[in-house]
A and B are shown apart, each in its own frame.
Chain A
Amino acid sequence: MSAPLLEVRNLVKSFPGVRALKGVSLSLGHGEVLAVIGENGAGKSTLMKILAGVQPPDSGELLVDGQPRQLRSVQDALALGIALIHQELNLAETLEVGANIFLGREPTRWGLIDRTKVREGARVVLEQVGLRIDPDTPLSDLTIGQQQLVEIAKALSIQARVLIMDEPTSSLSVHEAQALERLIKDLRSRGVSIVYISHRLGEVEAIADRVVVLRDGENAGSLPRESIRREEMVKLMVGRELSQFYPHQPHQRPSVALRVQGVRTVQHPIHSLSLELHAGEIVGLAGLVGAGRTELLEALFGVTPPLSGSIEIAGKPVQPRSPIEAIEAGLALVPEDRKHHGLVLEMGVRENISLASLSRDQNAGFLNHPRELALCEEMTAAMRIKTPHREQPVQFLSGGNQQKVVIGKWLATAPKVLFLDEPTRGVDIGAKQEIYRLMEEQAAKGVAILFASSEMEEILGMSDRVLVMHEGRLSGELPREALSEESIMALATGSAPSTPAPAPARAL
């Protein structure tokens, strides 16, 4: 057998405070679709960035056609025919499709861009990806799915042999996702190899020739075509039986903790959103990227106050126009973007934990030092935050410990209703379990929890009930008994009719 097209051995990569990869190996054959799966923080994105030359590994080997290579830049990778299709698309919105495809290597004639060649070249590759549009169309006129196809066309135009797709379907409609699936099969038949990263195990079952599972920066196992099954994949991903991993017990109480009626967000003003959370209930908020989950949470928390609608907390009407008003009303939000919205990275653990409670604990404007210290001790212990000392700047903590600091900051405010936006993004598996345990503890204490997540297993494992969003509206609600990846995806991609909405989800 000939050498694999692409092979890596013992890749190690560290970032300040965390070892993202601890010796990962994999190989990719010609015309193979290899799915790389793993929970958040397993090291998938780091591995892909190394394969695409975005960042170098600390150690380990990378071989292309059996030859050891060093990828120092994206250009090095492209020269070897390896192209990364980013989760966030890397296209210039203001340029035309053709110009995007040839960006940085425009064909020229007498020093000027040869527009005819651009158009013709673009047409060829656009046809290969099944996109029938004029190369002169401005990119901004295309849907996200079409833009993604343009990016794939761009990779084909440089004769890419390896396409790395990082969660390509995370913002696609069902129809677009199916088209992408067909395209992947078509590319494979023409000998292009594909590394496919996805959180959607259903998709992986459908298209992968082989599955490599990463867990906590290490190879957790691999599955050949015939044994790719959901249960097998999940078992390898979490490293034990599911029931042990998600410690979920139902806790709901009859009292309504949060009632939201007719809220319209600035980003999706045409949809009116209504929901209810009971005390002690854990509700998952599912949906594709861009479905409006973060916008809803931020509207309720007063970051971007809603345009209209009413909010009640434990029966009391509130109108948070800013986060401080939301905090005083008993809300807390663990934001999606930990580094930009959750933490002051240069400040220590103590100062971060107390930041949202300073105002409550003040002595006529002065800091309450003993209280602050007590709060820090309490949260560090309760969250099991691993830090050399409480003044350690949080930028030097691992992602998991950083996230625990953010959660600790919000639990310190003793909220009645806790919103978590992607609470386990970029954290290792140990921290993840601790976060689930904390969610359970809070729910047992009667806190109502609404958590948005793109990770299907987490939604399935932790929710008493799931609300699903699609293009800015609440497209449905599923009780725990009716939860499955398929039922959630049908609502998230708008391919199922809205569930007959129970009272709280009724559009006003």
Chain B
Amino acid sequence: MKKILGILGLLVVVCVLTALASDSFLSAYNLENLIRRSALFGILSIGVAFVIITGGIDLSIGSVVCLVGCALPWLLTVQHWPLPLALLAVIALSLAIGLAHGLLITKLRIQPFIVTLCGLLLYRGIARGFTQDQTVGFGTGFKELRSLATGKIPFLPGFDLPAPVLFLAVVALLAAVFLNRTIYGRYLLALGRNPQAARYSGIQTDRMVLLAYVLSSGLAGLGGSLFVLDVNSAQPVDFGNFYELYAIAAAVLGGCSLRGGEGGIVGVLIGATLMQVLRNMITLVTTHNNVEFAIIGAVILIGVVADEITRRIAANRRAARALQGASA
């Protein structure tokens, strides 16, 4: 809870500073865009959060976004598949990718880093292959389908909510219920901290880890579809580039520990939003975008260091108190 307040505070500070430095930050146009981007990245971040909670990592998210983002328009406009079939294909594709990762990690015991790093290279390569490295897009068609990402929901007078927020709301709600209210959520948190103790307690840890990777790739597939519907076209060479890092950074900022076993959905949502506000701030306030990574890197580092320091102070206090209790 304290952690969420900390990151929320940071988000508010960054927002206020950006609003002071740039008039356009609070314009309806900018805010809508910002919220749309935050929602899209929020979906990816929730996915990777599940994997991080198990103590793993998923580096392939950006490439899955690329693969799905290229496959959907390619199937529809180049291969002329019917819409339901194309949607089914990309859903199946992303779930199958997650299943493959999970099986390699749980059955063959290959490190998640390696498996998903290979995925990162593989899926982008495949996308560049079948598109022959050409931009694919919807052109002027598929307006209704695209409105899933580009549409707006009337919210306040003069301000509409972007459609992806709806997707995010549903995903986040389901994810939060799953993580906090079901026994499987508890299993994930337990096995992320101590897979052996979880196994000895009768938890089928392999199945749970498998599920986490399927969720991660599945949500990357959903995100990839919405991303391409939003921007209308995808260039295989850089569509979704670095998105895994934004998603991982958001999850970590939001309270997920890469050691596993820790994290909550609300924190991840705030983390994802913070990442996008930072990017927005850099675009609005600085004249050149090339320092973006440096600033984002610095903010994440500061956040994580601050968190580690408070954690140590708390642990020391607690140990001291426990000791008094023991000697009393």
Contact = CB atoms under 8 A, between A and B. Distances in A.
A340 B194 contact: yes
B190 A351 contact: yes
A64 to B, nearest CB: 30
A335 B198 CA distance: 12
B313 interface: no
B186 interface: yes
B322 A396 contact: yes
A344 B323 contact: no
Interface string B273-314: 000000000000000000000000000000000000000000
B197 A358 contact: no
Contact of B197 (A19, A327, A342, A397): A342
A14 interface: yes
Given A322-B204, A359-B202, A17 B190 contact: no
A343 B190 CA distance: 9
A367 B202 contact: no
A366 B319 contact: no
B193 A367 contact: no
A14 B321 CA distance: 13
Given A343-B194, A346-B261, A397-B322, A366 B201 contact: no
Interface string A397-422: 11000000000010000000000000
Interface residues of B, number: 29
A507 B318 CA distance: 53
A296 to B, nearest CB: 16
A505 to B, nearest CB: 27
Majority DSSP secondary structure for residues of B touching A: helix
A332 to B, nearest CB: 10
B156 interface: no
A396 B190 CA distance: 17
B322 A335 contact: no
Given A17-B323, A398-B326, A335 B200 contact: yes
A344 B319 contact: no
Given A335-B200, A355-B201, A14 B183 contact: no
A367 B194 contact: no
A323 B326 contact: no
A343 to B, nearest CB: 6
Interface string A320-357: 00111011000001010000111111110001000110
Interface string A458-469: 000000000000
A341 B194 CA distance: 8
A18 interface: yes
A153 B323 CA distance: 41
B199 to A, nearest CB: 6
A324 B196 CA distance: 13
B194 A17 contact: no
Contact of B181 (A347, A358, A366): A366
Interface string A1-38: 00000000000001011110000000000000000000
A176 B187 CA distance: 47
B190 A355 contact: yes
Contacts of A397: 322
A502 interface: no
A344 B194 contact: yes
- Of A14, A323, A344, most buried by chain B (CB within 10 Å of CB) is A344
A347 B198 contact: no
B247 to A, nearest CB: 24
Contact of B186 (A341, A358, A386): A358
Given A19-B327, A342-B200, A343-B197, A366 B182 contact: yes
A356 B187 CA distance: 10
Interface string A296-330: 00000101000000000000000000111011000
Given A344-B261, A351-B186, A16 B203 contact: no
Contacts of A367: 181-183, 186
A362 interface: yes
Contacts of A342: 197, 200
B325 interface: yes
A19 B323 contact: yes
A346 B261 CA distance: 9
Contacts of A327: 202
Nearest to A355: B201
A303 B323 CA distance: 35
Given A346-B193, A351-B190, A356 B201 contact: yes
B184 interface: yes
Given A362-B183, A365-B184, A366-B181, A323 B199 contact: yes
Contacts of B323: 14, 16-17, 19
B146 to A, nearest CB: 36
A467 B199 CA distance: 27
Nearest to A301: B200
A324 B319 contact: no
A354 to B, nearest CB: 8
Contacts of A19: 323, 326-327
A388 interface: yes
Contact of B319 (A17, A303, A355, A409): A17
B193 A323 contact: no
A346 to B, nearest CB: 5
30 contacts: A14-B327, A16-B322, A16-B323, A17-B322, A18-B326, A19-B327, A324-B204, A326-B202, A333-B200, A340-B194, A342-B197, A344-B193, A344-B194, A344-B197, A346-B262, A347-B189, A355-B201, A358-B183, A358-B186, A358-B187, A359-B202, A365-B182, A365-B183, A365-B184, A367-B183, A388-B321, A396-B318, A396-B322, A397-B322, A398-B326
Interface of B: 181-184, 186-187, 189-190, 193-194, 196-204, 261-262, 318-319, 321-323, 325-327
Task: Report, nearest first, the 3 A-B pairs whose CB atoms are least far apart.
Answer: A324-B202, A16-B319, A396-B322
Interface of A: 14, 16-19, 301, 303, 322-324, 326-327, 333, 335, 340-347, 351, 355-356, 358-359, 362, 365-367, 386, 388, 393, 396-398, 409
